[in-house]
């Protein structure tokens, strides 16, 4: 299992501080969430009490925490950093403490997931500052995964593959989507995840709704079932994988477009290599589906980045001209949703240097992609 020292190296804080200066920002402010965890390894609780990492461009960073969270902060990887940890008591004004420390900035970058409760108070204490998203600084770093991060994603992919291997045991006529979803959720935890992020069990017409999740619909003989599941590992890194099952048999019109979808997903995966654009990977899948006459039923992007969040940069979609670099991790998940049923095949892949890896991308998921009859 990947250890915290490799996932959250001590030198990362200095790299982020350099990025703050390179971006021309005065200060980066990170509250609990994936940004703070990426920089420090501290998986802090989201509370109304302010926890905030401040990284000024021209002075040393510091971590402000409520006094009752000090032990947790010190026990996290943040405790091993060259980082001052400052506490505040219940009657103190933590925003004023940050203002006193950083002065009067003209540009402030805030965590993308910062609560409005805190965003508005920072706006009050820094009225002259223009606010930016922290992703301005962090996204270029977070998009390019280290070897330890890739290994964490591989562990997540293997764990969710093991769950998919168990799904046929639970799909049968007479059970509800909700009952199957509950068994999947238990398995996600049993197979090594720290939390369940989502369980989509879309049977019959519900499979044509990409984010359906579960309902009390009873699964019937002849149903196609889309199962899209994911969770977060103890490392903080996420899994996400979709497979399609048929109970007893699948309608002929479904098997026709499922084969198109399988070809599109495979072609898009094989198109991944350093230097190609994110939108070109999307186009590879989309052209195959459109040429077969199903283009109007492919209603979402081909993929999304993944790491400490299920959805993060880079997005594999028309208009995203970013060139892929080794270490970029994302899903390849085209779908076709004509109405009476639907289908999606999803794997997580990591762009790789062919000279090193022997291929342009590494697959994090290796469960069978063929239609599974149960």
Q: What is the distance between the alpha carbons of residues 200 and 177, in angstroms, rounded to a whole number?
A: 9
* Residue 162 confidence (pLDDT): 98
Q: What is the distance between the alpha carbons of residues 246 and 127, in angstroms, rounded to a whole number?
A: 58
* Residue 54 confidence (pLDDT): 98
Is the distance from CB of 361 to CB of 324 less than 8 angstroms? no
Is the distance from CB of 328 to CB of 351 less than 8 angstroms? yes
Q: Is the peptide bond before 360 cis (omega within 30 degrees of 0)?
A: no
Per-residue pLDDT tens over the stretch 52-105: 999 999 999 999 999 999 999 999 999 999 899 999 999 999 999 999 999 999
- In this prediction, the residues of the chain whose per-residue pLDDT falls under 70 are 1-2
* Residue 356 confidence (pLDDT): 86
The length of the chain is 374
Per-residue pLDDT tens over the stretch 205-241: 999 999 999 999 999 999 999 999 999 999 999 999 9
Confidence (pTM): 0.95
Per-residue pLDDT tens over the stretch 278-291: 999 999 999 999 99
Q: What is the distance between the alpha carbons of residues 222 and 199, in angstroms, rounded to a whole number?
A: 21
* Residue 90 confidence (pLDDT): 94
* Residue 1 confidence (pLDDT): 61
Signed CA dihedral, 63, 67, 68, 72: sign only: positive
Q: Which domains does the chain have, with CATH numbers?
A: 4-142 (3.40.350.10), 144-373 (3.90.230.10)
Beta-strand relationship, 84-88 and 62-66:
parallel
Q: How far is CA 158 from the centre of its chain?
A: 16
Tokens standing for 125?
């204490």
């Amino acid at each position: 299992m990947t250890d915290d020292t490799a996932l959250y190296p001590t030198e990362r804080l200095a790299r982020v501080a350099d990025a703050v200066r390179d971006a021309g920002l005065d200060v980066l402010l990170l509250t609990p969430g994936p940004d703070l965890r990426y920089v420090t390894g501290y998986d802090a609780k989201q509370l109304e009490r302010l926890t905030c990492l401040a990284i000024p461009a021209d002075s040393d960073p510091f971590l402000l925490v409520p006094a009752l969270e000090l032990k947790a902060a010190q026990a996290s990887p943040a405790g091993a950093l060259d980082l001052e940890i400052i506490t505040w008591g219940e009657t103190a004004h933590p925003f004023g403490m940050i203002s006193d420390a950083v002065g009067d900035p003209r540009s402030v970058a805030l965590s993308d997931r910062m609560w409005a409760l805190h965003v508005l108070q920072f706006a009050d204490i820094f009225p002259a500052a223009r606010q930016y998203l922290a992703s301005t600084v962090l996204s270029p770093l977070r998009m390019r995964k280290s070897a330890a991060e890739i290994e964490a994603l591989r562990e997540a992919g293997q764990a969710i593959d093991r769950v998919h291997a168990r799904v046929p045991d639970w799909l049968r006529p007479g059970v509800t989507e909700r009952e199957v979803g509950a068994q999947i959720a238990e398995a996600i935890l049993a197979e090594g995840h720290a939390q369940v992020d989502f369980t989509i069990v879309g049977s019959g017409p519900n499979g044509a709704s990409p984010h359906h999740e579960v309902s009390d619909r009873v699964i019937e003989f002849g149903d196609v079932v889309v199962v899209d599941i994911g969770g977060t590992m103890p490392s903080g890194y996420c899994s996400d994988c979709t497979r399609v099952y048929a109970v007893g048999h699948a309608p002929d019109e479904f098997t026709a477009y499922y084969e198109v979808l399988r070809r599109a997903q495979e072609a898009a995966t094989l198109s991944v290599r350093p230097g190609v654009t994110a939108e070109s990977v999307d186009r590879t899948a989309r052209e195959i589906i459109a040429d077969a006459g199903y283009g109007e039923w492919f209603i979402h992007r081909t993929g999304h980045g993944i790491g400490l969040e299920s959805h993060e940069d880079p997005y594999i979609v028309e208009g995203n001209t970013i060139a892929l670099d080794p270490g970029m991790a994302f899903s390849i998940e085209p779908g076709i949703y004509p109405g009476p049923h639907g289908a999606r095949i999803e794997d997580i892949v990591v762009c790789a240097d062919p000279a090193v890896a022997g291929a342009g991308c590494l697959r994090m998921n290796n469960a069978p992609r063929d239609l599974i009859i149960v």
